Amino acid sequence: MNKTQKGKGKGIPKRDDNHYTKGLPAPLVENYEWKDLANCKDMDTEIFFLPWGARTTTKKKLEDTAKAICVSCPVIQQCLEFALATKETYGVWGGTTPEERAKILEQRELEASGYEIAN
Ligand code: SF4
């Protein structure tokens, strides 16, 4: 490696590592039509994506508002699985916060590795 190559491309994700497409279902209608049935279909997305840096109490209140909409959503499970598959790190999806989804993913990884979780 010469000096001009040093650091070249640093920080730029490889095509396969692209966060925005990795884990997304194939772009087929049947993989996304569940969104047409969502309770949030015509709602403001700001309800589900909190303002950056929201304080803890505000964050909890806003997340609870979003979760109250999700709880009766007919596609809550599809929404949750979509967010888990894409490792969505922002917003309330399928009635869960990013922190709750991280715990679900961690638990699934442990279970897949054969680790038994005591209840
Ligand atoms: S579960 Fe919540 S975020 Fe997901 S589609 Fe339904 S209302 Fe929207």
Give residue 117's pLDDT band: very low, low, confident or very high (50, 70, 90).
Answer: low
Alpha-carbon distance of 55 to 46, in angstroms, equals 16
The atom of ligand 1 lying closest to the CA of 34 is: 5
The number of beta carbons lying within 10 Å of the beta carbon of residue 73 is 19
- Could you tell me the pTM of the whole model? 0.77
Per-residue tokens: 63: 């997340």
Q: Ligand 1, atom 3: nearest CA belongs to which residue?
A: 93
**In the predicted model, what is the mean pLDDT of residues 65-78?**
98
Q: Out of 32, 43, 92, give the residue to mutate to test ligand 1, the one with the largest number of ligand atoms within 8 Å of its CB.
A: 92
Which residues, 6 or more positions from 53, have their beta carbon under 8 angstroms from its beta carbon? none
Strands (DSSP E) along 1-119, which ranges?
A: none
pLDDT at residue 13 above 90? no
